[in-house]
Amino acid sequence: MAGARRGPGGSASLRLRESTLPLFAHLAELVGRDRDENAERGTGTSYEAAPPPAVPAEVTRSVPVMASMALLLVTWAGMFGALFVATFFLQRRLGPDPLTTGLRVLPLTALMIIGAPAAAAGVRRFGPRRTAVAGQAGVVLAVVGLSRLSPASSWPETGALFAVLGAGFAAALVTSTGTVVGDAPRGYAGVIGGLKQTAMNVGPTLGIAVVAGLMPLASSAGAAPAEAARAMSGSAMGQALAVAALAALGLVPASALPRR
């Protein structure tokens, strides 16, 4: 009698419910399970993974790598900031031709070339920390000496200061570069190489920006262009002390490098 009451249509409807109810139950189970997993992860209803950081945590946690990056930044800033003001002083205040100016700065290039292998030997004997601190101290002393130049300064005095600047720069550069390569976390050589190149590009811009921003506009309405240029170059040599202070900041990351 129950079959008769259902009839053909009732049997079809019953079979449809019996076949679709397990399907809906399974879908509801899947949705509920996914919602619970998202709640446990704290992602809410978002199904997109968070993008990885630009600089991995393994790199930022490496003290030698981060110290080397900071040392590269301030060393390049001090180097190019000093060259910027020295160019004003030599060519605008003393008035030599470009060839004579290049000959005066030649000890800088010579000591950078000679100082690179010497710095590598120093790292092997004394360790990265001592070599980097000595090199950065040389950069600071050379920049301070350049800020005290006057028209009465002789060629040997100018050449000696540029030689110290080149030797100190080579020691700091070789040590920081070797530390970055040697202490790089495994698998992140590309990231560290990009950071190193960024520091070497931003450093010169920072040094020149500091000096140019502090350089006073000494020209007046009635001053001749040559007199204004001499006044500006003389003031610019005083601004080299700001570059020296910037380079002195490199002593902090240099002291954080490994002893061996």
This prediction has a pTM of 0.71
187: alpha, beta or left? (left if phi > 0; alpha if psi -120 to 50): left
Cα–Cα nearest to 142, from 174, 120, 170: 170
pLDDT at 202: 93
Exposed/middle/buried for residue 101 (C-beta within 10 Å: 0-12, 13-18, 19+): middle
Q: At residue 154, what are phi and psi to the nearest 5 degrees?
A: -85, 170
pLDDT bin (cut points 50, 70, 90) of residue 59 is confident
Using one digit for the tens of pLDDT, what is the confidence trace for 106-154?
999 999 999 999 999 999 999 999 999 999 999 999 998 888 877 777 8
Residue 232 has pLDDT above 50, yes or no: no
Q: What is the pLDDT of residue 2?
A: 44
Residue with structure tokens 């991995």?
56
The secondary structure of residue 42, as a DSSP letter, is: T
For the chain, the average pLDDT equals 77
Q: Under 8 Å CB-to-CB from 236, ≥6 apart: which residues? A: 84, 85, 88, 89, 211, 215
How far apart are the two ends of the chain, measured CA to CA in Å? Answer: 96
